[in-house]
Structure 1
Amino acid sequence: MKIMKKLIAGNWKMNGSLAANQTLLQELIEGFPLQPACAVAVCVPAPYLAQFRALVQALPGLSAIDLGAQDVSAQVSGAFTGETSAAMLKEFDCRYAIVGHSERRQYHFETDALVADKAKAALAAGITPIVCIGETLAEREAGRTEEVVKRQLAAVIHTNGHCISEIVVAYEPVWAIGTGKTATPEEAQAVHAVLRAQLKAATDHSDRVKILYGGSMNAANAASLLSQADIDGGLIGGASLKSKDFLTIIAAASA
């Protein structure tokens, strides 16, 4: 049976400040349900990992929200200036690390193989990788959506083998990220179903793998997207920076 508890993970991207972060997190805690029926995480810029960890002590309710990083190095240690290892993230109690976000693939030229290696590094440190996959507008219009997402996920499956049941997958159609455009619930569900079948073929424990939707999910469309059979949560960008919107999405995932 597929896992029923959904995951809502905020991705702050390159936004925030010490003051703004504290205000946002305080607002989230004030509106946070005492016993949410979904898991919640925020993936913050690396400089703010320490702030989040410290605020857990000052804001006890914050312990109900898991911490995530926005990237992780495929390397364990060494001369890799600017990189952050999984072991370093683990010291800050990170539970999740985003790997292969479309912005990393586009602007930093990350390949499917590198994304797979990053997922492997995270898993080795006891961190759950949120593996992002998705097609561009040109690929969708060319009818290549299924080919592209299956290729991207196949690389992660090949590299991580029996550990694949420990990952989270986030389908993020590139054409819907930060554009305000969103796949219809039916379009998103169709791709999620393809990914579910691919995971089922790869592991006997595919029911452990959450598949999130990551293409401009917001307070207005969250409920309809989350009602789909194979959408197990959301990777939330801009809406995660607005406490009211983020709480609305959490409530939709808890319904």
Structure 2
Amino acid sequence: MFNILKINNISKYYGNKSSLTKALDDLSMEVEKGQFVAIMGASGSGKTTLLNTISTIDNVTSGHIIIDDKDITTLKGPKLNKFRREELGFIFQDFNLLDTLTAYENIALALQIQNIKATEIEGKINEIAEKLNIKKVLNKYPYEMSGGQKQRIAAARAVITNPKLILADEPTGALDSNSAKRLLEIFQVLNEELESTILMVTHDAFTASYASRVIFIKDGKIFNEFIKGNDTRKIFFEKIIDVVSLLGGDGNDVI
């Protein structure tokens, strides 16, 4: 299987010589195309820094991050902006929808930025709206939608450009339990039916149990990881909880 993401010995330091913080410590990992990976770890473990470096929001101090055979640690300026725009999809906890645009227009904007023809945009949006069950809200503005609906619109916007990698930062953090469950089921559709590769930072075991692989970060290094395989989600959840307890928290405390 092709590795869409390769992380080779990355380290990230903050501060100066008198007060140096090591957020990532010679960390290496790979993610196969089509995997749904959750990243967990205690506060300060480095998991958010890891996501930020993969998303090109932050730079590594040393090491290399390779996405689809492109070393993104060497990209700068317009080339970096082009890569971020065309190869990555983002889903945030606070949705990041534009309030002055309808749901349809928010999704279309991602395609317009890539200069997709207007005649193609409608077909692409209708196709993804059908899969994510959002056709009835396409003409609504964000303030007219529930949190769950807004997050599904954000998911549609992230996947509509067919990115190499979808990065999700605490996507269920602002949702009630029912909306969170529906969104996670949407993620499974994106992963299983559209073969989207998803890398998700999450704060609880329930959310992580929807992934096919869970990586635990501690002190800037990989502490443990599980592949779901043939396990039921319940069994996978219990395995995750066991590691969470070793890290010093419960299912809703590990962030």
Global fold match (TM > 0.5): no
**Which has the larger share of helix?**
1
More strand by share: 2
User: Does 1 or 2 have the higher relative contact order (CA < 8 Å, sep 6+)?
Assistant: 2
TM-score by length of 1: 0.39
Bigger Rg, structure 1 or 2:
2
